[in-house]
Structure formats: structure tokens, C-alpha cells
Amino acid sequence: MTSLDPEALGARAYAMISELAAISAEPNRLVRLFLTPEHRRAADVVARWMHEAGLAVSEDALGTLRGRFGMSRRRLLIGSHLDSVIDAGKYDGPLGVIAGILAAEPFARAKAKLPFGIDVLAFGDEEGSRFPATMASSSACAGVFDQSTLSLADATGVTLASALRAYGKSPHDIAAAAYRPQDAAAYVEVHIEQGPVLESKGEPLGVVTGIVGQTRLLVTVNGEAGHAGTVPMHLRRDAYAGAAEMALALEKIVRAHRDDAMVGTVGRIEVKPGAVNIIPSQAVFTVDLRSLTDRTRKFAAERFEDEARRITTQRGLTYTVETFHEIATAECAPVLQDLLAQSISELGHNPIRLPSGAGHDAQVMAGLCPSAMLFVRCRGGISHNPAEFASVSDMGLAIAALIRFIERFQ
Ligand code: HGY
Ligand code: MN
Ligand code: MN
């Protein structure tokens, strides 16, 4: 058994988290998007860490870094993502990559004879912050990359295909990035909980039972521009007012499904022409709908469409709804859950089991191989926010638990 010093592991993790957090497209907030110069700089730092840990480093056609130990065909995959949301916290994603490197290191240094190899994976796109799709990198590893994603464009009109070429990759090599199912023994991801449960129970670590399915919609509402001072209210076709009523209708539908941990969010809205004295002719907004059961999520999406139809008819508006991301609920492999729980108990802590309301690469990897997640307590459950925080000791305990997990894994 490897001797463990969680405090020292946590301190190293914190130093690495801080180094990555300084790599941002903007000086005053953390923004690190897929296939940007910041992604390249972050990947170069992570490649150096992987090399220093004794891992053989390679990069696949989607820019996923792979730190490899051992020659066995059968691979234990450990990973998370390097990209961030806009104005992000510094733990969401990087903690999982860093935990994988620090957990693999003792085995690589000792040239341990394991019945499997270890691949630490640093994915470049999980958040979907740049292109209107998410988890492109882990999809390529899982062999489910959707080629139509290549033609998606970012806010500046750059397509994923041209961004890949600018990053030095060729879309023709994407298929080669896929693991053969027989080679992928399991996937494990360490991630901050991004919620309040572990903190409320006074526990540092948790074992994820399942990851919610997601539906992301782009809704376009069209009305008629008009003079804000002269058009009487009953004669207006106000696209924004219609969109606002649709957002409230979404909230009402979702609140009716409390039991499935269902949540619905309108996270972004653009109004045109966007002048103070013009009645909006168009409103374009996103819907993020999640639930622990796919059936209720799909039912809620249908109910939302019914409401959109009713509201726009009443208001003389037209609308379109485009589903730009859909991913099913993923169950975490019970055997791996138990192995993680055992590792946490051995460290003297109570292995809380909980679902994940956030999406993760583990959801995609669950289609390739048995997958599991280890959650780390985060202060106030805050995430996707610069106030995001995980303590040195909690991070150290997570890495220690991951080391014990690797020792037990067969
Ligand atoms: O949106 C999510 O759940 C994840 O943070 N990408
Ligand atoms: Mn996130
Ligand atoms: Mn994440």
C-alpha cells in the first residue's frame, strides 16, 4: 500500500490549481475556452506535469492530453476537463485532471506492476462554452463524436473544424481517438460537487450514484419592432414579453416535478434590435432542462413546447425551438461506486452517495465503459462562479482515496 499524506497531496494540488487558474483569456475573470491559445497554454502546463509524474504524454485529434502509464491494453481512464465557463471558478475541471496525475504518480514512479495501465485524460471541451455543443473531447474518446459538430461555429463564426486545424489537429484523425471498448476497463472522475450536500452533511467526499440527463434548447421568438411610445399595449407583438412569459412557463412546469430533481434554466437571452425605445422584434434564449429520469425530462420539454405554442399564438408571435444538446441520464457503475466508498471509509470518512445535478464527461464515458465519480465538498456548494472553493485537506483526501481505489481496482 502506498503511504499517503493527504495534506501534502492537497497542497500540491492547490499549487497546480492556482497555476492553471492564471491562464485565462481575460485579466479579471477566468475564461479558458476550447482550442484557444489559453487551452494550448494550459495543456502545455498539464503536459509538463504529466511528464514530471513519469507519464508518457500524447495528444489526440480533439486536443485531449493523455498521460499514460503501463503497457497493458486494458486501461483505467482517469480524467476531467481544462475548459471553463465564462467567469469561472478554478476547481471545476482542473481538479479532476490534477487528481489523476497525482494519483498515478506513485505507481509510475514505483514502476508498479498493475494488471492494467492508467491513462490520465485532460479534455478540452466539457462546458460547451465556445461551440454550441458540449463534451466533444470525451465523445471522441468514447467513440461517439458527432461529425456534424465540426460545422458548428462559435460567436465569431469560427467553425470547430477550422479551430481544430488552427490548433494543429486534423478532423480526419478523430475516429482514431476512440478507445476500443475492450481496452477501456473503467473511467473515474474526481470533481467538486458544485452543490451543498456534502457540506450540509459535514463530509469531505461523496460517491456519485448517477448523472442527470440534459436537454439544451435554443428558442427564437419573432414579433414586430415598433415605436415604444406610440404603439398601444394591445396592438403590440413584443418578442421579449413573449419570451419572458415562456421562461415563467418553464419555471412552473419544472417546479411541478420536484421529485426527479428537475431543474430548468434560461441562462442566456439576446433581444433585437435592443434599443430602449423600440419594441423587441426578436428574442433568442437558451433553455437548460435536467432531470434524474429521462422520461420526465422529455415530458417537461414537450410541455414547454405546448406552452410556447399557446403563448405565441395568443400574442401574435412566431417561434422556433432547436435542440442543440441532449444527453441521457447516466448511472455510475455500482461496483466502482463500492470501490470508491471503501476507499473513502478507509480514510475514516463516511462515503455519502448522491446524484450529480451537473453534467460531466463521466456521463459520456459511461457509454464506453463502467464509469464513476468521486465528489469533493465545495464551500457553500458554489460553482460556475469565481467564489468556487475546495479546501487543501478535502482535495488531498480525494487524491488519497483515488490512490486507494487504484490499488484495489482489478
Ligand atoms: O453544465 C454542466 O452541468 C457542466 O458544468 N458542464
Ligand atoms: Mn462546469
Ligand atoms: Mn465540470
Query: Tell me: the pLDDT tens digits for 100-140?
Result: 999 999 999 999 999 999 999 999 999 999 999 899 999 99
Give the pLDDT score at 258: 75
pLDDT digits (tens, 9 = 90+) for 77-102: 999 999 999 999 999 999 999 999 99
Atom of ligand 1 nearest to the CA of 359: 3
Give the pLDDT score at 261: 82
Q: What would be the CATH architecture of the domain defined by 213-327?
A: 2-Layer Sandwich (3.30)
Q: Is the pLDDT of residue 370 over 90?
A: yes
Give the pLDDT score at 35: 98
Is the CB–ligand 1 distance for residue 370 below 6 Å?
A: no
Q: What is the CATH number of domain 6-212+329-408?
A: 3.40.630.10
Q: Beta partners for 327?
A: 214
Give the pLDDT score at 62: 97
Give the pLDDT score at 260: 77
| pLDDT, the chain, mean | 97
- CB neighbours (10 Å) of residue 75? 23
Ligand located closest to 384 CA: 2
The mean pLDDT value for 323-336 works out to 95
Query: Would you list the DSSP string of 169-181?
Result: --GGGSGGGPPPG
Residues 6+ apart with CB under 8 A from 101: 16, 46, 49, 50, 53, 55, 67, 120
Q: Is the pLDDT of residue 410 over 90?
A: no
Atom of ligand 1 nearest to the CA of 134: 6
Q: Beta partners for 211?
A: 330, 356
Minimum CA distance residue for ligand 1 atom 6: 127
Give the pLDDT score at 1: 76
Ligand located closest to 214 CA: 1
Atom of ligand 1 nearest to the CA of 126: 6
Kindly list the domain boundaries of the chain, sorted by start residue.
6-212+329-408, 213-327
The mean pLDDT value for 71-77 works out to 97
* Dihedral sign of CA atoms 301, 303, 306, 308 in order: negative
Is the CB–ligand 1 distance for residue 125 below 6 Å?
A: no
Rounded CA separation 34/167 (Å): 10
The mean pLDDT value for 179-184 works out to 98
Residue 160 pLDDT grade (very low, low, confident, very high; cuts 50, 70, 90)? very high
Q: 202: CA distance to ligand 2 center in Å?
A: 23
Is the CB–ligand 1 distance for residue 358 below 6 Å?
A: yes
Secondary structure string (H, E, C) spanning 236-301: CCCHHHHHHHHHHHHHHHHHCCHHHCCEEECCCEEEECCCCCEECCEEEEEEEEEECCHHHHHHHH
pLDDT digits (tens, 9 = 90+) for 246-299: 999 999 999 998 777 899 999 999 999 999 999 999 999 999 999 989 999 999
